[in-house]
């Protein structure tokens, strides 16, 4: 029995009428898996395509058929239109869903499919042409009386012209690729020097990611919010909008957390935005699911940014608050069906929050991480007591995160009656999300969920830069958080001790007496506890420096040694803590805190306090590669004196160019690599005198 059969949780409906019998998904990863699930519920067979790097990928296993289309590089596989058409003909696929990214917004793709008698599950080519080009879309929006941002809508030739235009518009400005998306080919510049460098980097990224390096510049709205309207049209002239999504939590212009609805909008602004989005969609004859993106001020004034003529990454939050399966609607519209929904049918219910789980190291400036998922245990997908947990993913335990594609691992989505409840559910789900083998951003996402400003809904696209100006650093356990983690560590240690006492074959004799007192070390914090079994739970009492013993608090949990997550109740409140054992303790992760909890007896603790602290080695003499990647350029020469902040090298990883700068004034002693070299993490790029 194949994995695709095992994952088929619901009986298939028989496709009727003009509905497709078989569709091909021209994509990979979580979005390919997501499309397969909807197609399966509709009784439609699916065909996956895959590169050599994705031979064992989840979407390949889930689909009814799979076709190899080329080498790992997207330019030689997923971006080749002729390969997709060949796969359709070989398998009898009648239609193609492009997902997002890759070929999803290329006008040439639906045209080529149509010429081969294959249906494109997406908007018509004219709509893609009108809206897919960022420059032309702004002109169309202005013509449709949609509010637009001031800027220069012509194609910019070089960095000198870019600086001249930016000077005229006034800083700050946004440099954007006309064919861009997903935060690539985009930079914010606050000065002429930043425009010059940002233009070069964005142009290069746009060329490698989209094959189109046309750039434009527009005014950057200070303290803005990113809000988008989901639209849905059919081939009979009907267009509706399905509320909005708040996507202001971004890093390097790439969305990290999304929610629906927006905590900013009132009903009047929502309707005004929605009406403008529908007006624009009708003006270009839009006939599928699409998104009209706006930048909004804190005063609710909004301006058109662009229209994405495809399914958005963050579409699940809209699905959860409206109850509309957007993938199913796209398929039905492509098959010629009329929308069965009218605008008055669209009702928003509850609140949804989505976290993008990325393969990146939040403690090293979010640099990409690649490798094998030695452990991948997402929280269970449930819908209980008005709270829904959903995980859209394209990976499985044992799978590999490749350098060739986007670093997304999963999209964790929660839905509840209120925003506060949806955030609380998201926090609990993140605590239970276990990933080992690579670095990931769950510690950051968990910490952000606890952030007072996020919880209050005081958002802007500068949120991460403003709240974490020095980058994200490990959250230190303190106060009630430290007590919770220490209590769980003591309880885990107690369960381990009880299990050891039950090992068979032990020598008989006097019974072993377990000491009640334990000392938990969390960094520089030392906490003493009395620990004892109490019925089905474990009671802990914190001991003060003066020897006073606090009240008993009971921990209840079915946890057993080997479980990666301790779930249960501490003092009556639900709690989930990730557990990874090491000598003399456990690494525990909870609410963004990842703490090494050493567990000692009092005698052991007295000795441990006397141990010297091992200091990390000084790496200031070298420039190390912060992530696995490809050297795009070396910007300095041996013997050259460099100043702090000066560009030293550019390394590309997961389709993003990362500029490595000097942290201090120095002289380049030796350069160890050259352009084109493929480097591992912490590989030495250059040495300083």
Query: Which CATH architecture group holds 124-148+225-349?
Result: 2-Layer Sandwich (3.30)
pLDDT confidence band for 182 (50 / 70 / 90) = low
Handedness of CA 378, 379, 380, 383 (dihedral sign): negative
Residue 104: closest CA among 326, 334, 311, 314 = 311
**657 catalytic, yes or no?**
no
Q: Stretch 531-550: mean pLDDT, rounded?
A: 93
Q: Is the peptide bond before 394 cis (omega within 30 degrees of 0)?
A: no
Strand extents, DSSP E, 43-120 = 45-51, 65-70, 95-97, 119-120
| pLDDT at position 8 | 36
Q: CATH topology for 622-688? A: OB fold (Dihydrolipoamide Acetyltransferase, E2P) (2.40.50)
User: Contacts by 654-657 with C-beta closer than 8 Å and gap 24+?
Assistant: 654/368, 654/370, 654/403, 654/405, 654/406, 654/407, 655/184, 655/205, 655/208, 655/209, 655/405, 655/406, 656/184, 656/205, 656/252, 656/368, 657/201, 657/204, 657/205, 657/632
**Low-confidence winner among 2-16, 137-151, 459-473 (lowest mean pLDDT):** 2-16
Using CA atoms, how far apart are residues 96 and 347, in angstroms rounded to an integer?
Answer: 30
Confidence of residue 655 (pLDDT cuts 50, 70, 90): low
165: its two tokens: 């235009």
Tell me what the mean pLDDT of segment 539-560 comes to. 94
CATH architecture of the domain covering 479-501+515-608: 2-Layer Sandwich (3.30)
Q: Quick one: pLDDT at residue 512?
A: 65
d(CA 365, CA 625): 12
174-183 mean pLDDT: 80
For 237-247, what is the mean pLDDT? 98
What would the mean pLDDT of 585-601 be, rounded to a whole number?
95
Pick the CATH number of 3-121 from 3.40.50.20, 3.30.465.10, 3.30.300.30, 3.40.190.10: 3.40.50.20
Q: Tell me, what DSSP letter sits at residue 185?
A: E
CA angle 425, 327, 178 (to 5 degrees): 95
Which residue spans of the chain are classified as CATH 3.30.1490.20? 150-219
**Is residue 570's pLDDT more than 90?**
yes
CA 573, 577, 582 angle in degrees (round to 5)?
145
d(CA 48, CA 90): 12
d(CA 502, CA 9): 40
pLDDT in tens, 285-310: 999 999 999 999 999 999 999 999 99
Give CA torsion, residues 490, 495, 499, 500, to 10 deg: 0
pTM listed for this prediction: 0.82
Alpha-carbon torsion 269, 273, 278, 279, what sign?
positive
649 has a pLDDT exceeding 60: yes
The answer to whether 585 and 599 are in contact (CB under 8 A) is yes
Residues of the chain with CATH 2.40.50.100: 622-688
pLDDT, position 9? 33
Cross-strand partners of 49 = 67
Domain with CATH 3.30.700.30 in the chain: 479-501+515-608
Of the listed ranges 298-312, 316-330, 391-405, 505-519, the one predicted with least confidence? 505-519
Neighbours of 510 (CB within 10 A): 5
CB-neighbour burial class of residue 680 (10 A; exposed 0-12, middle 13-18, buried 19+): exposed
Q: Which residue among 94, 194, 228, 306 is the active-site one?
A: 306
- Asked whether the predicted pLDDT for residue 656 surpasses 50, the reply is yes
Residue 4 has pLDDT above 60, yes or no: no
What is the pLDDT, as a whole number, of residue 674? 94
pLDDT surpassing 60 at residue 684: yes
Segments of the chain assigned to CATH 3.40.50.20: 3-121
**Which residues, 6 or more positions from 7, have their beta carbon under 8 angstroms from its beta carbon?**
62
Q: Where in the chain is the domain with CATH 3.30.470.20?
A: 124-148+225-349, 351-473
Does the pLDDT at position 623 exceed 70?
yes
Half-sphere exposure of residue 585: CA atoms within 13 angstroms, side-chain side: 22
pLDDT tens for residues 63-72? 999 999 999 9
Q: What is the mean predicted confidence (pLDDT) over 4-19?
A: 44
Q: What is the mean pLDDT of residues 321-341?
A: 98
Cα distances (angstroms) measured from residue 575 to each of 328, 380, 400, 430, 540? 37, 15, 30, 12, 16
Cβ atoms of 25 and 35 closer than 8 Å: yes
- Please state which CATH number belongs to domain 150-219: 3.30.1490.20
Topology (CATH) of 351-473:
D-amino Acid Aminotransferase; Chain A, domain 1 (3.30.470)
Q: Is the pLDDT of residue 237 over 50?
A: yes
Mean pLDDT over all residues of the chain?
Answer: 92
């Amino acid at each position: 029995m194949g994995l695709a059969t095992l994952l088929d949780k619901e009986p298939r409906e028989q496709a009727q009428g003009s509905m497709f019998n078989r569709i091909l998904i021209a994509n990979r990863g979580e979005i390919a898996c997501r499309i397969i699930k909807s197609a399966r519920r509709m009784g439609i067979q699916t065909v996956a395509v895959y590169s050599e790097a994705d031979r064992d990928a989840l979407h390949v296993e889930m689909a009814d058929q799979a076709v190899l289309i080329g080498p790992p590089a997207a330019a030689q596989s997923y971006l080749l239109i002729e390969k997709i058409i060949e796969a359709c003909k070989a398998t009898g696929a009648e239609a193609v869903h492009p997902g997002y990214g890759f070929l999803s917004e290329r006008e040439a793709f639906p045209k080529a499919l149509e010429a081969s008698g294959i249906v494109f599950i997406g908007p018509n080519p004219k709509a893609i042409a009108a809206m897919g080009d960022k420059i032309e879309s702004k002109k169309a929006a202005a013509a449709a009386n949609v509010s637009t941002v001031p800027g220069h809508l012509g194609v910019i030739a070089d960095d000198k012209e870019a600086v001249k235009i930016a000077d005229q518009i006034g800083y700050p400005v946004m440099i954007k690729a006309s064919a861009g998306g997903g935060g690539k080919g985009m930079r914010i510049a606050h000065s002429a020097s930043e425009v010059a460098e940002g233009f070069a980097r964005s142009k290069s990224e746009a060329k490698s990611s989209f094959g189109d390096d046309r750039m434009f510049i527009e005014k950057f709205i200070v303290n803005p919010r990113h809000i988008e309207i989901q639209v849905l049209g059919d081939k009979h002239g009907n267009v509706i909008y399905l509320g909005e999504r708040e996507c202001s939590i971004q890093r390097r212009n790439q969305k990290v957390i999304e929610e629906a609805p927006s905590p900013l909008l009132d009903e009047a602004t929502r309707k005004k935005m929605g009406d403008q989005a529908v007006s624009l969609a009708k003006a270009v004859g839009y006939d599928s699911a699409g998104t009209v993106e706006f930048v909004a001020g804190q005063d609710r004034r909004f301006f058109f940014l662009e229209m994405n003529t495809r399914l958005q990454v963050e579409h699940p939050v809209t699905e959860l608050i409206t109850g509309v399966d957007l993938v199913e609607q796209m398929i039905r519209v492509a098959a010629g069906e009329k929308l069965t929904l009218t605008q008055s049918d669209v009702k928003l219910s509850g609140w949804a929050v989505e976290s993008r789980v990325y393969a990146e190291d939040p403690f090293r400036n979010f640099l990409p991480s690649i490798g094998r998922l030695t452990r991948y245990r997402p929280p269970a997908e449930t819908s209980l007591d008005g709270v829904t947990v959903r995980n859209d993913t394209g990976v499985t335990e044992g799978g590999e995160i490749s350098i060739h594609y986007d670093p997304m691992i999963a999209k964790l989505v929660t839905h509840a009656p209120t925003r506060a409840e949806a955030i609380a559910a998201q926090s609990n789900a993140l605590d239970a999300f276990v990933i080992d083998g690579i670095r990931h951003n769950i510690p950051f996402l968990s910490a952000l969920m606890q952030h007072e400003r996020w919880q209050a809904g005081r958002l802007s696209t500068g949120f991460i830069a403003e709240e974490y100006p020095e980058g994200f650093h490990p959250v230190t356990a303190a106060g009630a958080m430290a007590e919770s983690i220490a209590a769980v560590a003591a309880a885990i240690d107690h369960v381990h001790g009880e299990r050891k006492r039950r090992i068979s074959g032990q020598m008989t004799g006097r019974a072993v007496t377990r000491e009640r007192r334990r000392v938990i070390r969390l960094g520089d914090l030392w906490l003493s506890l009395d620990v004892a079994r109490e019925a089905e739970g474990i009671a802990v009492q914190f001991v003060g420096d003066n020897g006073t013993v606090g009240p008993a608090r009971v921990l209840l949990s079915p946890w057993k040694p080997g479980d990666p997550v301790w779930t249960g109740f501490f003092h009556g409140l639900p709690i989930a803590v990730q557990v990874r054992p090491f000598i003399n303790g456990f690494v525990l992760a909870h609410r963004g805190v990842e703490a090494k909890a050493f567990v000692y007896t009092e005698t052991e603790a007295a000795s441990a306090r006397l141990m010297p602290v091992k200091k990390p080695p000084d790496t200031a003499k070298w420039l190390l590669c912060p992530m696995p990647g490809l050297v795009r350029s070396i910007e300095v020469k041996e013997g050259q004196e460099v100043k702090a902040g000066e560009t030293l090298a550019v390394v590309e990883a997961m389709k993003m160019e990362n500029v490595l700068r000097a942290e201090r004034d120095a002289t380049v002693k030796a350069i160890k690599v050259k352009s084109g070299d493929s480097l591992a993490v912490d590989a030495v790029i250059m040495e300083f005198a």
